Structure 1
């Protein structure tokens, strides 16, 4: 027997802890739920870093779970929500940790992914599953939860909150400069292999400076890998063409920098999805991940896509022969991207923004 979905939900729980790009892609689903049921209460259980990015999202109550606290943190969250019962819990994280966390939450019906998309046996922890949606983009997979709930208006809306202090933080770095924002490194995880070369980035910096008078703001976290990448890029560029903000901003400050940028260039990582959410022209660099699944959604036409070549070169198969979303975990895959590819897509994105000025959501 199917667990019935509420026709008029009073309290919707959303369980999605990470990551930065994914939570940005989830926000349009939140907005769709709000349009359908403006009186419904929405509680989003989210990771600590992700909350610092999303804080202030209108109409949403956040419950923050710090993943580093493990079981003790889970128990604390369960105690915090002991008197809360959701009409529906949207279990939108395909990870065993999130499924374990869901066990201590009270909900009349739990919705998760269909078997084809449910990783780590997530379908064992839910009552209702999404309809199959082969080869879906991540953002569309999130919208499938709203579709199952019966939401009709699935138009894209973000309206992320950028406080005035974050805009002041950004202006302190850039002054009145017109700039390109470049986040050279993805999350420095084991066998991630999403980073392009310092030489390639430097060629793009040089082009933006010489052809458009745009300096480039380098952003990222404070890891050794990111700082070293920034130093290599700067060493290859005129000093006046680069502003080094690596490790120097809050997430809200980064959001403000992205909002004021002429364009953003980055590999598959949080900043391309933050830029997409703000409708800032975005050039994503993709070779190890499939952009049809994970590109910045509104700027998919401006991706540099070397994923098919990477699949053929390093997996020795055709893209249609491998599972949807499979990554190419090879350290040389991103070297398939050429500086001319990125410059051409940057020019196209900048021209598109002139011809069709993007409406800013925040």
Structure 2
């Protein structure tokens, strides 16, 4: 009860502050020279914001564009040519990072765009005290922003592009694209040769990992092992079992459960991964950051989808097959909050169904 009263009082005080500083609600496009994007999403969701960041650059080609990201996302964002500076956030609770907040306040940004669906990041945008701020209206805290945008859940890149529409008249493209540098291609060429892989036309990348946030998206390890054996024994494909360094144990459990031998990759940095995925004949995996890389590179993909609505996380592509079981409890999330404890939707997907889908793609 006391907490609810405190929140209501805080909202009232901040609304009053906005009322007496109405200039914060006036947007002057010509005066925008310095922009900050708060993009402390996990790696997979960061890819959904790429079309919006590119749209900002297109709208303000000469502005100083900086993006705040988590440490694990920084290797990717640093290689994006339309971002002038990546600001690394070391801690998950940004609001407690007084040093970062103080540094951002001193920069006196002309425009701050909050792409994180989090009240704490709305508060951060408010504290930074930019001339103009934009973000989604989360739990009625949008009054803290110069312009709040209603949250309309659909394909995630479109959700983030809603934040750009108030400041541009240009047509917006929701395609996720990015460049791969020549040095990364060269590195991967040496890497795959060292691993004993030469033929590009037979390489299938298996990505069983889902990250740390929604474990319900996992497919069973024993099924991945069986699938890998079938692809190598029956179809003569070269299987690459890929995961992050934190997923090494899972990758090795799958490898140990296999009858055939495969090559495992857990030592590749995330910024090198796009160059590797670009070599695939086929990508097989679940909803994850590597999947979004594969779709951005137009790599043929088989997607195992369960708790989430594929229309929100996947683009419409002819070279993609989505395997999903309609069970009464899916999609079982709302704004990334999983409600169920059992991923029966993933367990219901059988190895034979995946093999049949792969046959159609190869």
Bin for the TM-score computed over the shorter chain: 0.7 to 0.9
Q: Work out the CA distance in 2 between the residues paired with 1:181 and 1:55.
A: 25
User: CA RMSD for the aligned pairs?
Assistant: 3.0
Pick from 248, 253, 256 the counterpart of residue 227 of structure 1. Answer: 248
Residue 345 of structure 1: aligned partner: 357
Deviations 1:260-307 (A, max 9, x none): 22222222221111222222222222112222222356579522122x
Deviation at 1:244, TM superposition (A): 0.9
Q: Work out the CA distance in 2 between the residues paired with 1:88 and 1:299.
A: 38
2:34 matched to 1:11? Answer: yes
Residue 263 of structure 2: aligned partner: 243
Residue 354 of structure 1: aligned partner: none
Residue 355 of structure 1: aligned partner: none
Deviations 1:34-54 (A, max 9, x none): 233322331111111111122
Deviation at 1:23, TM superposition (A): 0.9
Structure 1 residues 126-275: aligned runs within 5 Å:
126-131=145-150, 133=152, 135-155=153-173, 156=175, 158-162=177-181, 164-165=183-184, 167-169=186-188, 170-171=191-192, 172-173=194-195, 175-178=197-200, 179-189=203-213, 192-210=215-233, 212-223=235-246, 226-240=247-261, 242-246=262-266, 248-275=267-294
2:341 matched to 1:330? Answer: yes
Q: 8 Å contact 2:80–2:179 — kept in the other structure?
A: yes
Q: Work out the CA distance in 2 between the residues paired with 1:108 and 1:158.
A: 30
Distance 1:85 1:279, change over 3 A: farther
Pick from 41, 46, 55 the counterpart of residue 69 of structure 2. Answer: 46
Higher relative contact order at CA 8 Å, sep ≥6: structure 1 or structure 2? 1
Q: Which runs of 5+ in 2 are unaligned?
A: 1-21
Residue 357 of structure 1: aligned partner: none
Query: Normalized against structure 1, the TM-score is what?
Result: 0.80
Query: Normalized against structure 2, the TM-score is what?
Result: 0.80
Structure 1 residues 100-119: aligned runs within 5 Å:
100-114=123-137, 118=138
Q: Which runs of 5+ in 1 are unaligned?
A: 352-362
2:86 matched to 1:62? Answer: yes
Q: 8 Å contact 2:126–2:145 — kept in the other structure?
A: no
2:91 matched to 1:91? Answer: no
Larger Rg: 2
Number of aligned residues? 331
Secondary structure of the residue aligned to 1:29 is: helix
Distance 1:208 1:222, change over 3 A: same
Q: 8 Å contact 1:272–1:296 — kept in the other structure?
A: no
Q: Work out the CA distance in 2 between the residues paired with 1:157 and 1:323.
A: 23
